[in-house]
Amino acid sequence: MDPRAAWDSHIPFLHPDDHEETRRVWSTCLRTGLAGEVSFRVRNAEGKYRWFLSRAEPLRASDGTLLYWIGVNHDIDDAKRAEQALQRSEAELRRSEKELREVIDTIPTMAWSALPDGSNAYVNKRFVEYSGLSAEQAAESGWQVAIL
C-alpha cells in the first residue's frame, strides 16, 4: 500500500501534529480491510483548526469481497474544547488544593478533615507532630487513636 496514495490527499489540510497518526490509522484500515477511526484537526478557510472524529467501515459483498468504504467525519471541536477546559480546571483544582494544604500546614494549630463516615481525609503537619502518628497512620479511622 502506497502511504502517499490518493486516499491521503486530505492530509495537507490537517494540523501537522496529526499527519502521522492519521496516515497510520488509514493505511492500517486499507491494509487489513478492518474498520477504523481517528481524531484530527482540520484547517478551515480562515486558517483555524477544528477537531473531527473520522470513522470508516468497509462494505463487503456476501462473499466477503471489499466493495467500498463508508466513512463519516463528525465535528467534535466543541466537545474537545470542553474536555480540554475540564482538564485545565482539574489541574487548577489540584494546584489550589496543594496550595491550601501548604497553608494549612503552616498554621499553629492541629487541623484535619473528616468524611461523612468519620474517616479521616487529611491531617496537617501540626496534627502529625502532636499525635506522633504519620499521615498514613492517621488515615481513615486511625486518627481516633490520637484523641481517645
Domains of the chain (ranges, CATH numbers): 6-75 (3.30.450.20), 107-147 (no CATH)
Which helix or strand (DSSP H or E) is residue 20 part of?
A: helix 19-32
C-alpha cell recorded at residue 103? 497553608
Q: For the whole model, what pTM was predicted?
A: 0.60
- Of the two residues 129 and 69, the one the predictor is more confident about is 69
Helix (H) or strand (E) holding 135: helix 135-138
Mean pLDDT for 49-72 is 95
64 has pLDDT over 90: yes
Percent of the chain with pLDDT over 90: 55
Pairing of strands 49-60, 66-75: antiparallel
